[in-house]
Structure 1
Amino acid sequence: MKILKTFTAFAVAGLLFASCEETKKSTPETTVDTEVTETSNEIAMTEKEETPTIVGVAASNDNFTTLVAAVKAADLVDALNGKGPFTVFAPTNDAFAKLPEGTIDNLLKPENKSTLAGILTYHVVSGKFEASAVIDAIKNNDGKFTVDTLNGDAITLSLKDGNVILTDANGGTSTVIMADVAASNGVIHAIDSVVMPK
C-alpha cells in the first residue's frame, strides 16, 4: 500500500512538473515573439521619426505651413523627397507674409505653377551644406560665396553680425534665422524673407 501511495505521489508530481515545463516552454516563446514584434515596431517608428525627408521635416513644423502648401501646389513634393542631398533655404510663414498682399494666393493658382516652382527651386542648392561649411566657404572667399540653385540662378552668401545673409538676383536679402535642421536627404536653414530669381 505504501508503495502504491509513493508511486501515485511521484506520478502526480511528475504530471505537475511536466505541466509546469510545458507552461514554461510556451510562455517565454510567446513573450519573446511579442517583445521582438514590439521592438521591431519601435525601431521602425524611431527610424521614421529620426529621418524624415526635407518635406517631412517642413510638414511637421508649424512655421513652414505656407512653404509646404507652395511645394504641393508647385508639384515639387516628389523632387524634394528625392535622394538628394539638398540644402534648402526655407522661408518661414512670416517670410511669406512679407510679400505684397495677394502674392501667395496668386502664386498658388494652377496657372502660376511654373512661376511658383521657379521661386521655390531658387531656395534649393544641390548638396548638403551645414552652417559651418557655409560660413567657412564665405570666409575663404573674401566674405562672399556664390552658389547655383536648382532654379539655375545664383544666390550670394555673406556674413553680417555673425548671421548668414542671402542676396538674391535682384539685390533682395534674407537672413538665416535657424540653421542645420536635419533631414534624411539634406539640411534645412530657415530664412526670414523669400528670395527671388530674376
Structure 2
Amino acid sequence: MRNLVLWTCSLLLVTGLSAPFSTAIAQSKDTTSNAKPTLGTIFKEDRMFTNKAFSASIRFAGLVDTLESEGPFTVFVFTNEAAGSLEEEFSNPQSNPKFHSLIEYHVVPGRKVMASDFLEIEKLSPLEGPPISVETKGGPTVVAEGGEGGQRVSKQPETIVLKGKNTVTIGPDPTQRNITTASNGVIHILGSVLRPPAQ
C-alpha cells in the first residue's frame, strides 16, 4: 500500500495535476450548472476521491481527451486497494505497454451500460484487448438506478460477472452497487482489477 501511495503521488506530480484537495472538493461541488460532467472531467479533476489511483492512471494513459468526447463509454474503475496488486504494471508506466493495455481494457467505447443492461449482454469490446465476457446470475431484482435526477426503477441481475484473464464480480448486492453516471457514459466500481487475457 505504501508503494501505491508513493506511485499515485509521483504520478500526480508528473502530470501537473496535483491540485490541492480542497480545490478538488470545491470543483466537485460547483453548482453553477446542473449538467452532469463528462467522464473526462470526472477523472481530470479527480472527483472520485476513493479511486485516485485509477483517476491518475486515466490521465497518465492519455485517455482524458477520449473520455471528454461524445461517447458514450462504460468505464470499470478498480479501487485504490485493488491497485495495490499492480506493482508490475505500475513500474515505469510511461514505457510499460502492460500499463496502457490494462487501463484501456477497463474502458468500453460506444455503449453506456447500466446495471439492468447486463441482462442482455454476453460480451463487451474494450478500447484494447479481446472482448470481455459477461455473465449474470440470479434475479432479476427490482431496484432503483441512475443516480440524481435520472433515477428509474429497473430489473437487475443479482450478480454481474466480468471475465478477462480473471473473473470480477460487480455487486454482489444489487442495491449497493456503486454506479456513477456522466453526460457521456457510466462508471461501475470493481472490487478487483480486471486483467486482459494476455497479461
Task: List gaps (5 residues or longer) in structure 1.
Answer: 1-42, 139-144
Contact 1:54 1:185 in 2 (8 A): yes
Contact 1:176 1:190 in 2 (8 A): yes
Confirm or deny that 1:176 pairs with 2:170: yes
- Residues 134-160 of structure 1: CA deviation (Å, up to 9, x unaligned): 1x215xxxxxx1221111411111124
Paired residue total: 141
**TM-score in terms of structure 2 length:** 0.63
Matched residues in 2 for 1:196 and 1:182: separation? 24
Task: List gaps (5 residues or longer) in structure 2.
Answer: 1-29, 139-157, 172-176
Letter in 2 for 1:54: L
Deviation at 1:124, TM superposition (A): 1.4
- 2:104 aligned residue: 121
Matched residues in 1 for 2:133 and 2:72: separation? 20
Contact 1:87 1:187 in 2 (8 A): yes
Q: 1:109 to 1:116 in 2, by over 3 A?
A: closer
- 1:91 aligned residue: 78
Contact 1:96 1:104 in 2 (8 A): no
Give me the CA root mean square deviation.
2.2
Matched residues in 2 for 1:54 and 1:158: separation? 25
Matched residues in 1 for 2:81 and 2:137: separation? 21
Between Structure 1 and Structure 2, which shows a larger proportion of helix residues? Answer: 1
Confirm or deny that 1:66 pairs with 2:53: yes
- Residues 136-191 of structure 1: CA deviation (Å, up to 9, x unaligned): 215xxxxxx122111141111112461211111x2x11121434310111011111
Q: Secondary structure at the match of 2:108?
A: strand
Larger Rg: 1
Matched residues in 1 for 2:33 and 2:72: separation? 21
**Identity of counterpart residues, as a percentage?**
30
